[in-house]
Amino acid sequence: MWHFNEIVKAEYSGEYRFYIAYDDGVAGEVDLSEYLTKGSVFEPLKDKAFFAQARVDAGTLLWPNEADIAPETLYDKVVAQVKKVAEPVSRYNSFPRSCVGMQTGRE
């Protein structure tokens, strides 16, 4: 059986952005403005006050007019955003051992 991660938290951040958290700990802020032109069901979402009324329902993001975005689609967007802002781990592999000990308080 296929398991999709479920949204457990969604907070409106303004300007058609939501902070979304999943049941596996993945979380981040995503811009959903691209959906405003995806069809008539999304037309009411152009009103920012209406857009902000989205809620988590059965693990997905749902608006009062029953418009929703598949949780797996949003998951991919959150992961992509996290990767975009994260620094590569390799950057930290070049620290001398003494620096690592100073940062963590242990050698």
Other Cβ atoms closer than 10 A to 19: 14
Q: What is the DSSP string of 71-101?
A: HHHHHHHHHHHHHHHSPPGGGGGGS-HHHHH
Which residues, other chains included, contact 29 with Cβ-Cβ below 8 Å and sequence gap of 6+?
13, 17, 18, 19, 20, 81
Q: For 80, phi and psi rounded to 5 degrees?
A: -60, -40
pLDDT tens-digit series, residues 4-13: 899 999 999 9
- Does this model's pTM top 0.85? My answer is no
Token couple for 95:
């620290």
Q: What are the structural domains of the chain? A: 7-104 (3.30.2020.10)
pLDDT tens-digit series, residues 22-81: 999 999 999 999 999 999 999 999 999 999 999 999 999 999 999 999 999 999 999 988
